Structure 1
Amino acid sequence: MPLSDVKVKIDILKPTTLVGLGIPLILVKNTSATESVYREYGSLESLKQNYGESTATYKKAAAIFAQGDNAPNKVAVASFGHEFETGDTENPKQVFSVRNALEEYFDKDFHFVLLAAVNAEDRLEASKFFEEKSYKFVVLKVASFDELEQYTGKDRTIVFHHPLVDEEPDAALIGAIANKPVGSVTWKFKNLVGVTPQDFKVDTLENIHKAGAIAFVTKAGRNQTSEGITASGEFIDVLHGKDWVKLNIETSIQTALSTTDKIPYTNEGFALLESQIVTVLETAFTNGIIAPDEDGQPVYSVQSKGRSEMTDENRKNRVYDGLSFTFELAGAVHTAEITGEIII
């Protein structure tokens, strides 16, 4: 996340120009590198200048851009795995780990991380990192069913179980869906260009889903993603929507603070901040994140405390913590149960 004076915390209660979140970072393990550099590429041709067609990085990027109009307009690439000088005489060298790289670049403009040329240990460490942050996602391609269980229960890990090592369904998934307006799409039922559907038996697919993973299969003659969940079983679009609301409220209020000569510590000033939240929530409703009521109106509320309710300490330090909001998720239909009758 970028630097900000605004912090938004959203808890999901069960049952109960804005920033997009579709840019991927390809994090590649490169033990021969001398340093890690974060670069963004707007095309495969530009990326190929640094990563040839035979590299794992190029193959991930190619799978992203192969999704056509749905693909993001850029991808980011950085590396890890090289040794660096620590300046410590007892331990003069240290390996720049996947965790080091994620810490270094976490505030950059990406929302999904793909891993290239890595092992299971790297995948697990990245999964643990994002679970701790509770923001953004790591997307993993896992060929072995036995590996799936170590990610089960993790909100911020998307696991794609696919046994074909020469295909990149994790990258294709992000290229096909992540760049669409947040809230407008579920991650289930989606076709992925360049990915071969797998002929899993029903019980095998159920076990994949129970482990918190998704697959690419054929249903009713159409190739599609089998689910739209993270490793915890939570739906990707729910968490993606949560991130969108959080970031855009922070960005909107930060912009108001930065572009207004002065927002007074008064009820009028607080109302200006409240209006920023309302604008974001209205857009979230339009995009499909927030549910409508029976009359088609968005189901959300914004609460604000007045100046008289603020503590002396907060007034002294110019801290306003009197804003809060709730909304009802729109969700999506993933299965249907239909009852019929035959009349003789």
Structure 2
Amino acid sequence: MPLKDVTVTINIQKSSKLTGLGKPLILAKFTGESTYKNYADPLDVAKDFGADTVVHKLAKALINQGNTAPSKIAIATYDSAAEPAMTAADALRKFYDEDWYFVVSDTQVETEVKAIADVVEGKGVKLHGTTVTALEALTTLKGYNYDRTFAMLHTTVNEYAAEGLIGSVGSRGVGSITWKFKSINGLTPQQVTEDELKDIHALNGFAYVTKSGIPQTSEGKVLSGEYIDVIHSKDWIKINIEEAVQQVFVKNGKISYTDDGITLLANAVKSILKAAFDMGMIAEDSEGSPLYSVATISRVDTPSSDRESRVYNGLSFTFELAGAIHEANIAGEIMI
């Protein structure tokens, strides 16, 4: 991760510059030196990689999603025939700190997909999407219980469901959407029975199906069972609080180890939580007030060892996620 002096840890309890976190990265096999490059048009990808390549098809799936598509994608290359050989996971590690959030790959080899997922899981930030073509592959991935990988089961050849979904949804405002009920350009709805869809959902995967005559995603979860939008929101809040507090350090000549200095840090946190509330990530109470709080420990209550080392550990916050409604059970009554 980039160098920083601020670390935010968020635990999900169930019962400045605002980073968008929407840009996708493609990991692509290519002969030659490993590179990282931005693209805005699939035609430019075709020029560099060829029109019939998987990477070009992935680029089209990501970019050809209408008004909600990302303005740019990135491609990182790896050469598996080089000396020493490089894998997709190696390229991912090399370029992890670049400006992207969602990662996809031109490989569906089970061991390589797992290696990519392991890197993302180990880093603890960003998300990995993959398309599988069989329930067996989804079963294997589910066994790893990944918090940062989601998988769509899609059997139509040369269509990339998870990648198209990232292109359609990933660049929308964090907190403004759920990943269920979403339509994807260029994707064929799958013909699955209710029982087959239950089997897919039981593995925390999902599919692209037709409901009420509308093609749409059947769910929106990562493989651990958490919702994609929850992980996305958590990362947005964490990263933007880190950046906001870092800016306070940079823009002030000195933050004194006083209650006034502590208040400056707390206000930076509050500003991001307020933005998260405005974007729909944080819930509100019955009177419309945001359900978040920020707590601090006064200077007098901090350990002298912390003051000597110039580290403040007394700032914390809590919030309630707004969540989303994914199903409705409605009771009716006929009067005779």
In the superposition, the TM-score normalised over structure 1's length comes to 0.94
Q: Is the 8 Å Cα contact of residues 102 and 129 (structure 2) preserved in structure 1?
A: yes
Q: In the TM superposition, what whole-angstrom CA distance separates every residue of 1:61-119 from its partner, at most 9, and x where no partner exists? A: 111111011011100001224355xxxxxxxx432223322221111111110111441
Q: Is the 8 Å Cα contact of residues 35 and 82 (structure 1) preserved in structure 2?
A: no
Q: Is the 8 Å Cα contact of residues 112 and 137 (structure 1) preserved in structure 2?
A: yes
Q: Is the 8 Å Cα contact of residues 23 and 112 (structure 1) preserved in structure 2?
A: yes
Q: Is the 8 Å Cα contact of residues 29 and 81 (structure 1) preserved in structure 2?
A: yes
Pairing 1:110–2:108 present? no
Q: What is the CA-CA distance between 1:298 and the residue it aligns to? A: 0.4
Q: 2:158 aligns with which of 166, 177, 195?
A: 166
Pairing 1:51–2:41 present? no
CA distance in 1, matches of 2:304, 2:88: 45
Partner residue in 2 for 1:87: none
Pairing 1:27–2:27 present? yes
CA distance in 2, matches of 1:26, 1:249: 27
Q: 2:290 aligns with which of 288, 295, 298?
A: 298
Q: In the TM superposition, what whole-angstrom CA distance separates every residue of 1:115-158 from its partner, at most 9, and x where no partner exists? A: 11441211111122222222211100101111111221211111
* RMSD of aligned alpha carbons: 1.3
Q: What is the CA-CA distance between 1:165 and the residue it aligns to? A: 2.1
Question: What percent of counterpart residues are identical?
Answer: 41
Please give the residue correspondences for 1:216-231 in structure 2 after superposition, counting only pairs within 5 Å.
216-231=208-223
Partner residue in 2 for 1:82: 80
Q: What stretches of structure 2 of length at least 5 have no aligned partner?
A: none
Q: Is the 8 Å Cα contact of residues 108 and 132 (structure 2) preserved in structure 1?
A: no
Q: What is the CA-CA distance between 1:24 and the residue it aligns to? A: 0.5
Letter in 1 for 2:235: D
Q: Is the 8 Å Cα contact of residues 29 and 118 (structure 1) preserved in structure 2?
A: no
Q: What stretches of structure 1 of length at least 5 have no aligned partner?
A: 85-92
CA distance in 1, matches of 2:326, 2:333: 24
Change (3 A) 1:77 1:108: same
Task: Determine helix, strand or coil for the equivalent of 1:159.
Answer: strand
Aligned residues: 333
CA distance in 2, matches of 1:314, 1:100: 38
Q: Is the 8 Å Cα contact of residues 189 and 226 (structure 1) preserved in structure 2?
A: yes
Partner residue in 2 for 1:64: 62
Letter in 2 for 1:96: M
Partner residue in 1 for 2:195: 203
Partner residue in 1 for 2:204: 212
Q: What is the CA-CA distance between 1:44 and the residue it aligns to? A: 2.1
Letter in 2 for 1:132: G
Q: In the TM superposition, what whole-angstrom CA distance separates every residue of 1:3-59 from its partner, at most 9, and x where no partner exists? A: 2111000000011x41101000000133xx232101111222333331221111111
